[in-house]
Structure 1
Amino acid sequence: MEPDWQDRAFHHHIATLIDALDGPDFWTRLTRVIERFLAFDNWVALVFIRDRAPLVCAESPMPDGTVDLLFRAYLEGMYQLDPFYINACERPRAGLVTLAEVAPDNFRMTDYYQRYFKSNIIGDEVQFNLPLDARRTLIISLGAKHHYTERDIAMFAMFAPWVMALMRQRLPYEPLAASQAADGDEGAPQSEAAAASEAAPGARDVDYASRFEAVARQSGRTALTAREIEVVRQSLSGFSTRAIAERLEISFETVRAHKKHIYAKLGVSSQSELFALFYEPNGREGA
Structure 2
Amino acid sequence: MQIAVSDLAFHHRLGKLLEQLGEPRFWPVLASFLGEIATFDTWVVLLFQADQPPLILADHAANLAADDLFADYRAGLYRIDPFYAFSQQNPQPGLYRLDDVAPDSFRDTEYYRQYFSRNVGEDELQFLLPIAGQGVLSLSLASRQRFSASAVGRCQLFSPWLLPLMRKAWQFDASLIAQQQNNPAQRQMRLEDALRQRGNPQLTEREVQVALLILAGHSTKAIARELGISQDTAKVHRRNLYAKLGVSQQAGLFLLFAAPDAASGTTPVN
- TM-score normalized with structure 2 length: 0.65
Cα deviation for residue 176 of structure 1 reads 7.4
Correspondence for 1:10: 10
Query: Is 2:45 the counterpart of 1:45?
Result: yes
Correspondence for 1:61: 61
Cα distance in structure 2, aligned partners of 1:6 and 1:196:
45
Cα deviation for residue 104 of structure 1 reads 0.7
Cα deviation for residue 7 of structure 1 reads 0.4
Paired AA for residue 95 in structure 2: L
Correspondence for 1:72: 71
Instruction: State the SS of the aligned residue for 1:90.
Output: coil
Q: Does structure 1 conserve the Cα–Cα contact (< 8 Å) formed by 2:21 and 2:169?
A: yes
Instruction: State the SS of the aligned residue for 1:126.
Output: strand
Instruction: State the SS of the aligned residue for 2:44.
Output: strand
Equivalent residues in 2 for 1:63-142, closer than 5 Å: 65-134=64-133, 136-142=135-141
Instruction: State the SS of the aligned residue for 1:45.
Output: strand
Structure 2: gaps spanning 5 or more residues = 189-211, 219-270
Cα distance in structure 2, aligned partners of 1:93 and 1:189:
32
Cα deviation for residue 101 of structure 1 reads 0.8
Instruction: State the SS of the aligned residue for 1:62.
Output: helix
Q: Does structure 2 conserve the Cα–Cα contact (< 8 Å) formed by 1:45 and 1:58?
A: yes
Provide the aligned C-alpha RMSD in A: 2.9
Q: Does structure 1 conserve the Cα–Cα contact (< 8 Å) formed by 2:45 and 2:138?
A: yes
Correspondence for 1:170: 169
Count of residue pairs the alignment pairs up: 194
Cα deviation 1:215-234 (Å, max 9, x = unaligned): xxxxxxxxxxxxxxxxxxxx
Equivalent residues in 2 for 1:1-287, closer than 5 Å: 1-62=1-62, 65-134=64-133, 136-175=135-174, 179=178, 189=182, 200=217
Cα distance in structure 2, aligned partners of 1:21 and 1:172:
10
Identity %: 34
Moved over 6 A (4+): 190-193, 195-198
Structure having the higher Rg: 1
Cα distance in structure 2, aligned partners of 1:106 and 1:180:
43
Paired AA for residue 127 in structure 1: Q
Instruction: State the SS of the aligned residue for 2:166.
Output: helix
Cα deviation for residue 200 of structure 1 reads 4.0
Cα deviation for residue 124 of structure 1 reads 0.4
- TM-score normalized with structure 1 length: 0.61
Paired AA for residue 19 in structure 1: E
Cα distance in structure 2, aligned partners of 1:20 and 1:84:
28
Cα distance in structure 1, aligned partners of 2:154 and 2:183:
38
Cα distance in structure 1, aligned partners of 2:108 and 2:53:
24
Correspondence for 2:234: none
Q: Does structure 2 conserve the Cα–Cα contact (< 8 Å) formed by 1:47 and 1:177?
A: no
Cα distance in structure 1, aligned partners of 2:122 and 2:85:
19
Cα deviation 1:234-263 (Å, max 9, x = unaligned): xxxxxxxxxxxxxxxxxxxxxxxxxxxxxx
Structure 1: gaps spanning 5 or more residues = 182-187, 202-287
Cα deviation for residue 198 of structure 1 reads 10
Cα distance in structure 1, aligned partners of 2:214 and 2:130:
20
